[in-house]
Amino acid sequence: MRKEERSSVTVTSHRRSKARDLIASASVPQFCNSPTVIVMVGLPARGKTYISKKLTRYLNWIGVPTKVFNVGQYRREAVKTYKNFEFFKPDNEEAMSIRKACASAALKDVAAYFTKEHGQVAVFDATNTTRERRAVINSFAKERGYKVFFVESICDDPEIITENIKQVKFGSPDYIDRDIEEAMSDFVQRIECYKASYTSIDDEKDRKLSYIKIFDVGSRYLVNRVQDHIQSRIVYYLMNIHVTPRSIYLSRHGESKLNLLGRIGGDSGLSPRGLKYADALATFIRGQNIKDLKVWTSHMKRTIQTAEALRVQYEQWKALNEIDAGVCEELTYEEIQENFPEEFAMRDQEKYRYRYPKGESYEDLVHRLEPVIMELERQENVLVICHQAIMRCLLAYFLDKPADELPYLRCPLHTVLKLTPVAYGCKVESFFLNIEAVNTHRERPTNVSISRKSEEALQTVPDHN
C-alpha cells in the first residue's frame, strides 16, 4: 500500500515538475482583455485596405482604440521610388530582405502602440500570403500575450478585381504620373508575383487559428474559432458591410417651435419655416432621382412631419430619437446655467461622456445607434431624417471623427448632407435648401470651470426668441 502511495506521489511530483517546465517555457498568458492583432490576408486588389480602414473606423467609433499598420507604407518609406512589379518577385532576394524588414518594423510599432499608447486593436494590413509570414506574426503575438484574428479576403470575380485595381491603384503613390494602361499592366503582374507563393488559410491545417474568410466581397463567409467579444463584434460588422455604390442622405427635421425659443429636446411640431423646409426637402429628393430610396425617421413629431411632405413610405426608429436631456428637457441654455450651473460646466468640460441627470450622453447615443449603423451598412440609398446630436454621431462614424470632435460637428437646420462612400473614405456634399432657420450650434466656451461667471458660460449660446 505504501509503495503504491510513494509511486503515486512520485508521478504527481514528476507531473508538477513537467508542468512547471512548460509554464517556464510558455509565452505570456492571454487574458480576456489582451490586445488583439487583426491580420489581413489576401492577394493585392482584394479590398484588404478598404476592410482595414473601415473596420478601424467602426471600432474607434464604438470606443475600442484601434490603429492600422499598413506594411505597404513602410515599404514606400524604405524604397522611395517604385520602379515596377519585379520588386515583388519571390526570387528578388534584395527586395525580399527589405520587405521582411518592413514587416518587422510594423510589428515593432504594433507592440509600441499597445504598450505606450494603450491601444486595444492593431490591424496589420499586408498581403501575408504565406504560411511562414503568418507563423512569424503568430509567434510575435504569442510571445507578448496578444490575441490574433485573421481576416482573409478571397476574390476570383474578374469584374470586382478590375474595379478594385482602378479605384485604388490610380490613387496609389506607386503609380503617380504613370500612364493608366502601364499602371494597370504593372499591377496585374504584381498580383501574379504574389500568386506564385500564395497559400490560403487551410480549414484543416489551420483549424486552431481564429479567422474569417470573406469570399467575393461578402457573397459567402467562413468563420472559425471566434475567441472573444471583440472578435465577435468584428465578425458581425464584416458580415454587414458591402461595396455596392450608394449614397446616404442625412438631414435634420425642419425647424421646430422649440428651436425658435432656444429650448432643447422636447417633442414639438414644426415652425412655419420648418414646414417650408419639409416641402423643399421633398422637391430636392425628387430632383435627385434616387433609385429605391428608403426613408427613416425618429419617433418624434418634428421628423415625422418633415417626412410626411415626401409622400412616400417611411420607417420610424426609436434609436433615432434625439438625445435625452433628462432634467434639462425643454430648458434654454440660460435656464440650465441658472438652475444647474455645475452640470452646465461639467458638460462643457467633457461633452462626449457627460450624461444629463436622468438623461443620456453622446457616448450613450453611439451605443444606441450601433444597430442603425449596421443597417445603414447593409442598405443602399437611404435618407435619414433625424436630430442634431444623432446626426453628429452618424457623421462622426462616416467621416472618422474622434470622440472629442463629435459633439461639436456642425449639423445646421435646413441642410442636406449627401455621403457617398469612396475607395478609402467618404465624399461629402452639402446642400442648403434656401429656407432660413435659427442657429442651434453652440461652440465650447473658453472657460469651462465650475466657478466661471454666467456671462462666460453663455458666451457661445446662439441667438433665439
Neighbouring CB atoms inside 10 A of 313's CB total 8
The residue annotated as part of the active site, out of 322, 343, 348, 363, is 322
310, amino acid identity? L
For residue 240, count CB atoms less than 10 angstroms from its CB and return exposed for 0-12, middle for 13-18, buried for 19 or more: middle
Catalytic-residue membership of 322 = yes
The residue annotated as part of the active site, out of 102, 125, 174, 348, is 125
The residue annotated as part of the active site, out of 155, 328, 393, 411, is 155
Neighbouring CB atoms inside 10 A of 214's CB total 24
For 69, the 3-state DSSP assignment is strand
Of 388, 384, 445, the closest CA to residue 412 belongs to 388
For 223, the 3-state DSSP assignment is strand
- Compute the half-sphere exposure of residue 19: CA atoms within 13 Å on the CB side of its CA: 6
The residue annotated as part of the active site, out of 174, 193, 253, 387, is 253
Q: Measure Cα distances from 91 to 87, 102, 199, 221 in Å.
A: 9, 18, 17, 33
129, amino acid identity? T
Q: How far is CA 440 from the centre of its chain?
A: 27
Calpha distance 223→339 (Å, rounded): 54
For 133, the 3-state DSSP assignment is helix
Contact 251, 285 (CB under 8 A): no
Q: Interior CA angle at 38 toward 371 and 406, to 5°? A: 45
Lookup: cell for 412: 445646421
Catalytic-residue membership of 125 = yes
Catalytic-residue membership of 155 = yes
Of 339, 396, 352, 409, the closest CA to residue 370 belongs to 396
Helix H or strand E encompassing 430: strand 425-432
Calpha distance 340→343 (Å, rounded): 5
Q: Interior CA angle at 151 toward 148 and 155, to 5°? A: 160
For 305: left if phi > 0, alpha if psi spans -120 to 50, otherwise beta; the answer is alpha
Question: Mind telling me the catalytic residues?
Answer: 125, 155, 253, 322
